[in-house]
Copies of this chain bind each other. A is one copy, B any other.
Amino acid sequence: MSEVTKITGPLAIIAGQGPLPCVLAEAVAAHEIPLHIVALRGEADEEIERFPHTWMKWGEIGKLFGALEKSGCNDLVIIGAVNRPDFGNVRPDFGAIKALPFLLGLGKGGDDSVLSRIVNYFEDKGYRVHGAGDVAPELLAGEGMLSTKTPSAEDKTDIEIAFKVVRALGRLDVGQGAIVAKGRVLAVEAAEGTDAMLQRCADLRTSGRTRGARAGVLVKAPKPGQEERIDMPTIGPETLRKAAAAGLAGIAVAAGRVLLAERAATIEAANENKLFLVGENWDEIDD
Contact = CB atoms under 8 A, between A and B. Distances in A.
B182 A192 contact: no
Q: How many copies does the complex hold?
A: 2
- Among A108, A188, A196, the most chain B Cβ lie within 10 Å of the Cβ of A188
Contacts of A188: 169, 174-175, 188-190
A187 B185 contact: no
Interface residues of A, number: 41
A225 interface: no
A70 interface: no
A187 B169 CA distance: 12
A18 to B, nearest CB: 15
A88 to B, nearest CB: 8
B175 A109 contact: no
Contact of A209 (B84, B187, B210): B84
B165 A174 contact: yes
A172 interface: yes
Interface string A76-111: 000000011010000000000000000000011111
B83 A208 contact: yes
23 contacts: A83-B209, A84-B209, A84-B211, A86-B211, A108-B183, A111-B184, A113-B183, A168-B168, A168-B172, A174-B185, A175-B185, A179-B190, A185-B191, A186-B190, A186-B191, A186-B192, A187-B190, A187-B191, A188-B188, A188-B190, A192-B204, A196-B203, A200-B200
